[in-house]
Amino acid sequence: MGTDTTYARPTARPAPNGERGGLLAPAADQTHTPYLTALLGHVASGPLRLTVPGHKGGASAPDALRAALGADALALDVPAITEGIDVGEAPTALERARELAAQAVGAQRTWFCLNGASQGNHAVCLALALAGHRDVVVQRSAHGSTIDGLVLSGLRPSWVLPEIDPELGVPHTVTPAALAAALRAAPQARAALVLSPSYHGAVADVRGLAAVAHAHGAELIVDEAWGAHLAFATVFPAHALACGADVVISSTHKHLGSLTGTAMLHLGPRASLPAADVERAFALVGTTSPNALALASLDATRQRAACDGEQLATRTLHGIAALCERLRSLPGVEIGGDRFRGREGVHALDPLRVVIDVRATGLDGRMIARALREQHDIHVELSDRTLVLVLIGLGEEVEPLAERLVAGLAEILATATITSVPTARVAPAPSLAAPRLTPREAALAPAVTVPLDAAVGRVAAQSLSIYPPGIPQVLPGEPVTAALVAQLRAAARLGCTIRGLDDDRVRVLATGPGGCA
């Protein structure tokens, strides 16, 4: 099979206000998969492989690996710098695949990430630093990889809190009003880093956030790891690039079907962040040995989503609606999305995640998840005291999984012993103390582990978060205060989980601000 030569180089076309970027008439034929096609053509030619990888396309692979993956998958494990795939006459097959991905969502440029959205978050923080930026506003409930990006880049963050659901205690998104206040308090900030959708499916008012950020001379960076599918069907809420975001990190493997660990980084059509800085930053956190199977999965996933996304979404959402109706029929079960609508920080809802509110069943959500796993081999995305979270992929056949999930859940509810009705134990929003050091300075400084009470007055070398809502109470570089310790103690007495606390001990700076060990 030869390489795909029926490709026309696209022209970047920003989506006007109110128009859905990624759903515009394509400037290039999205039916093609240039990288996957070139990869298949290379393998079909029967090359004599005298390069890495050492298994030589499966010829010398361990028998167990060949049995597990199959000969076809091993044959496609082609190294980088292969003529006709990622080197040769421009645009190469890989470049064409990236350009098609950019065109599909309305970006000026797209990069393929092989270390998940985490790599995208790392790269964008480094790109901001390379562009000369120092101060940024960051959503306090950002993914840990964003915090790691701050460590890698040395950026100096100010924080903006998301809205917290008053009943279930889960964090939703940042509102435009909250972002405006944060940017007024940090006038030197040249970028705002926010997350949408939230882990529990709340979609932010990205258009409002973009308007606020741009009015303050800042770029809007959206970690849309949980919303890679939003660009590909009108039945979904509008995606971040279409709403004016400048940079979007998209975790393609979460809902669209690419291989685990694959994602995309999109530079918006009007972004002022130089593409050259993003390219350089991406190289700093990328690999020189990209996995061809992973890259091919991104190419194929983009092609399916761009060509069939509307049809797939309609079918999947029909199945999810039926699933939710069946869940509502179970005693004590409610759907969290029914309660989230209209709440602060919930501009829209991602329908591909089903939040099962189990408070009225009298059972702990964690116990239900454990019983589903141990008794029915059903594995859910997340559970806590009051809810169980289920994720559905775009195009997934929902009816078979619904039958199994509802039957298993019904059996558990019918046979479990109910002791008390669980209530959401919501920790108060963190009281953000002025940092003593940047995250980078604190993370790279010598640290020691001390009892929590002995940490008062010292500077944290790690994060501590109360679940729910899972927003860090303290991050590296911030002081450990007596009020913080009291808050952690109170939350522990309520049965909340304190993430980061190990046997009542915490890592703090060995020397420097806050005294010596």
Average pLDDT over residues 433-448: 94
Q: Is 349 within 8 Å of 202 (Cβ atoms)?
A: yes
CATH class of domain segment(s) 439-509: alpha beta
Buried b (16+ CB within 10 A) or exposed e, 188-218: ebbbbbbbbbbbbbbbbbbbbbbbbbbebeb
Distance set, CA 97 to CA 4, 31, 247, 312, 380 (Å): 11, 11, 19, 22, 33
- Whole-model pTM? 0.92
**E strand residue ranges, 134-195:** 135-139, 156-160, 191-195
In 3-state terms, what secondary structure has residue 354? strand
> Of all residues in the chain, what percent carry a pLDDT higher than 70?
92
Q: How many Å apart are CA 137 and CA 223, to the nearest integer?
A: 13
Based on its alpha-carbon atoms, the radius of gyration of the chain, rounded to whole angstroms, reads 24
In this predicted model, what pLDDT tens digit does every residue of 383-428 receive, in sequence order?
998 999 999 999 999 999 999 999 999 999 999 887 665 565 666 6
The pLDDT of residue 496: 81
The one-letter amino acid at 30: Q
In 3-state terms, what secondary structure has residue 297? helix
In this predicted model, what pLDDT tens digit does every residue of 160-199 receive, in sequence order?
999 999 888 899 999 999 999 999 999 999 999 999 999 9
List % helix, strand, coil for the chain (3-state, nearest 5): 40, 15, 45
The pLDDT of residue 340: 95
The pLDDT of residue 20: 46
Buried b (16+ CB within 10 A) or exposed e, 271-301: bebeeebbeebbeebbeeeebbbbbbbbbbb
Q: Which residues pair with 160 in a beta bridge?
A: 139
From-to residues of CATH 3.90.1150.150 in the chain: 309-415
Average pLDDT over residues 342-363: 96
Q: Quick one: tokens of 216?
A: 């303050």
In this predicted model, what pLDDT tens digit does every residue of 283-325 receive, in sequence order?
999 999 999 999 999 999 999 999 999 999 999 999 999 999 9
What's CA 48's distance to the chain center, in Å? 40
Q: How many Å apart are CA 406 and CA 390, to the nearest integer?
A: 12
Residue 35 has pLDDT above 60, yes or no: yes
In this predicted model, what pLDDT tens digit does every residue of 452-476 receive, in sequence order?
999 999 999 999 998 888 899 999 9
First to last CA, the chain: 66
From-to residues of CATH 3.90.100.10 in the chain: 439-509
Q: How many Å apart are CA 351 and CA 356, to the nearest integer?
A: 13
Q: In the structure, what pLDDT confidence band is assigned to residue 2 with cuts at 50, 70 and 90?
A: very low
Q: Is 203 within 8 Å of 346 (Cβ atoms)?
A: yes
The pLDDT of residue 69: 95
> Mean pLDDT, the chain, as a whole number?
91
In this predicted model, what pLDDT tens digit does every residue of 217-246 receive, in sequence order?
999 999 999 999 999 999 999 999 999 999
In this predicted model, what pLDDT tens digit does every residue of 368-382 receive, in sequence order?
999 999 999 999 999
Q: In the structure, what pLDDT confidence band is assigned to residue 202 with cuts at 50, 70 and 90?
A: very high
Average pLDDT over residues 2-21: 35
The pLDDT of residue 138: 98
Q: In the structure, what pLDDT confidence band is assigned to residue 433 with cuts at 50, 70 and 90?
A: confident
Among the ranges given (13-27, 73-87, 140-154), the one the predictor scored with the smallest mean pLDDT: 13-27
Pick among 3.90.1150.150, 1.20.1440.230, 3.40.109.10, 3.30.930.10: CATH of 309-415: 3.90.1150.150
The pLDDT of residue 512: 61
Average pLDDT over residues 414-443: 79
Other CB atoms within 10 Å distance of the CB of residue 11: 8
Q: In the structure, what pLDDT confidence band is assigned to residue 7 with cuts at 50, 70 and 90?
A: very low
